[in-house]
Structure 1
Amino acid sequence: MAWSVGKVKITKIVEMEMTGGTRFILPQATPQQIQTMPWLTPQFANDEGRLTMSVHSWVVETPTRRIVVDTCIGNDKQGRGVPHWNGLDKPFLQDLERAGYPADSVDTVVCTHLHVDHVGWNTRLVDGQWVPTFAKARYLFGRVEYDYWKTHSTDAAHAAVFADSVQPVIDAGVVDLVDSDAQIADEITLIPTPGHSPGHVALHIRSEGEEAVLSGDVAHHPCQMARLDWSSSFDSDPLQSIETRRRLFSRFADTPTLLFGGHFGPGRIVRDGDAFRLVAQL
């Protein structure tokens, strides 16, 4: 699946997709509540009110760059907080190559934040060692985000993730730490979007008068556009995440801008009373 934004092409590479089983992320999104939002069906929820979400990467191809944004869970990883994320054996790299993007053709990797399901394919297991998956790429991490997780790298919930998916690319010397509002390509500028994590960033793409936003986990699901107060169980600052959602969605609502979420999308944001909804763009 691919979309065009001016001269920029955005391709979705799915590692896994699920309907239901998401209450551990959004406990307030009960089936009864979701059924009061009929606009979510069928793209974002089923008739029973169960949420549809995916773990995926966005490949952003500009006239001069090939960028992978967020790198899913990864194969062979252990110590994940979600049991069925341990020891995956997914054809992610083959799917990437089939889409026209072999790993060695990627020149940049951007992680909107350093959570488990956004850094996994930073590395792959080769002869018992974790090595950079994208051997010819520079990896861009937000400086605020990296500094926070480096300080907390031994915390039980994050130790394994940092050790196998972050530290090896640091040790390989392929990481550039960037400001939360850095311009990272001619067409792409970062937007500071803290709340889900301390240094979370979104990507703002502009090309030939068209725009897109890759929003990472500002929202995990479009239901959070209707209910801005529904914060994820994993938000580091739930109140800040609410304000970040309101600010980002207000900025791009009722415009042609495409929103590409970290676990959904794309779609266009429209105002709906004091909140918003997402119109899917298939």
Structure 2
Amino acid sequence: MTETAAPRLRIGDVTVTKVVEAVVHPEAESLLPGSSNDYVRASREWLAPHFIDATDRLVISIHSFLIEADGRRFVVDTGVGWDLPDGFKHLATPGEKYLRDLDSAGFAPNSVDFVICTHLHVDHVGWNTRQQGEEWVPTFPNARYVLADDAVSAWRRSGGSGAHSHGNDRTVEPLLAAGVVDRITPDHVLTPSVRLVSTPGHTPGHISIEISSGDQRGLITGDASHHPVQWSQPHWASKADLDPEESTRTRRRLLDELVDTDTLILGTHYGGPVAGRLVTTPAGVRFVTAD
């Protein structure tokens, strides 16, 4: 299933657009092994229709966030691309549809200043490059690619093993060879409105993106949170989390910082609207859509 709409919102003077590549519908217990399908079903009142479907399966979106801030253009995560291993092929979209959708959103690849990868899993780096003859070249030819130094180091130490890092020899290594990568440390400031923050647990060096403009603030989660239900059950770690205990600590820290504030949460895998807020209710914390 593929969505074509590109919903947009403003955070102060910053514009954020969501471009969806693919949507999948796993059962909660398959993505979040410690979770409960029954709990998800009982939470239908606040999870439906955007975050669970008619059969109570999770709605998981694979998308990019496009940011216009301080006269610069950013792409956050670049989806799966089309060169996918077994087990991921169902996520692929035909040809270069993703790139056409970027164009339709006003983000031609040559207009992008920065590409930020929250981490190096296959569904976040797929369109970093594209094939030109026998070579893999940067999809965004004028951009600096921003990767966490710890993420790059860990991937290289692993020898590229693991299905989730499949293809990094074509989506990451050519960027390093071309000298277009900025290997950053946590809390790196890109522009006055865009800062990277450390949110460890899912992978080494995992980062989220803080947007701040005027008195408004937003946080792009990356895979620190895969689904809104994790804010009510932060101990429900993803099966892809390398360190589930640390990812749980990260979610609890974010909850302490963000619940009942005006900060917008932009979920990197959330279906539905672009953003929402964390709100305390008599039944616990809920993610409430903002648009």
**C-alpha contact 1:217 1:262 (8 A) present in aligned 2:** yes
Structure 1 segments (4+ residues) deviating >4 Å: 272-275
**Pairwise CA distance, 1:114:** 0.8
Q: Distance in 2 between matches of 1:145 and 1:28?
A: 26
1:49-198 matches, within 5 Å, as: 49-75=56-82, 77-79=83-85, 81-85=87-91, 89-157=95-163, 160-198=166-204
Task: Name the SS of the counterpart of 2:127 in structure 1.
Answer: helix
**Which residue of the partner structure matches residue 228 of structure 1?**
234
Q: How large is the Cα RMSD of the aligned pairs?
A: 1.9
**C-alpha contact 1:205 1:213 (8 A) present in aligned 2:** yes
Closer, same or farther: CA 185–266 of 1 in aligned 2, 3 Å: same
**Pairwise CA distance, 1:281:** 2.2
Q: Distance in 2 between matches of 1:153 and 1:88?
A: 30
Amino acid at match of 1:73: V
**C-alpha contact 2:122 2:165 (8 A) present in aligned 1:** no
Amino acid at match of 1:112: T
- Long gaps (5+) in structure 1: none
Q: Distance in 2 between matches of 1:15 and 1:155?
A: 25
**C-alpha contact 1:153 1:159 (8 A) present in aligned 2:** no
**Which residue of the partner structure matches residue 281 of structure 1?**
290
Identity of aligned residues (%): 38
- TM-score between the two structures when normalised by the length of structure 1: 0.93
The question of 1:25 aligning with 2:31 is answered yes
**Which residue of the partner structure matches residue 44 of structure 1?**
51
**C-alpha contact 2:69 2:194 (8 A) present in aligned 1:** no
Amino acid at match of 1:155: S
**Which residue of the partner structure matches residue 3 of structure 2?**
none
Q: Distance in 2 between matches of 1:61 and 1:271?
A: 31
**Pairwise CA distance, 1:88:** 5.2
Q: Distance in 2 between matches of 1:155 and 1:225?
A: 31
**Pairwise CA distance, 1:276:** 2.3
**Pairwise CA distance, 1:216:** 0.4
Task: Name the SS of the counterpart of 2:195 in structure 1.
Answer: strand
**C-alpha contact 1:31 1:48 (8 A) present in aligned 2:** no
Aligned residues: 281
**Pairwise CA distance, 1:271:** 2.6
Which among 182, 205, 212 is matched to residue 199 of structure 1?
Answer: 205
**Pairwise CA distance, 1:5:** 0.3
**Pairwise CA distance, 1:35:** 1.2
Residue by residue, what CA displacement relative to the aligned partner does 1:195-244 show, whole Å, maximum 9, x if unpaired?
Answer: 01111011111101110001101110011111111100010100000010
**Which residue of the partner structure matches residue 244 of structure 1?**
250
**Which residue of the partner structure matches residue 270 of structure 1?**
279
Q: Distance in 1 between matches of 2:216 and 2:19?
A: 22
Task: Name the SS of the counterpart of 2:257 in structure 1.
Answer: helix
**Pairwise CA distance, 1:270:** 1.3
**C-alpha contact 1:70 1:118 (8 A) present in aligned 2:** yes
**C-alpha contact 1:16 1:54 (8 A) present in aligned 2:** yes
Structure with the bigger RCO (C-alpha within 8 Å, sep 6+) is: 2
Closer, same or farther: CA 261–128 of 1 in aligned 2, 3 Å: same
Amino acid at match of 2:49: P
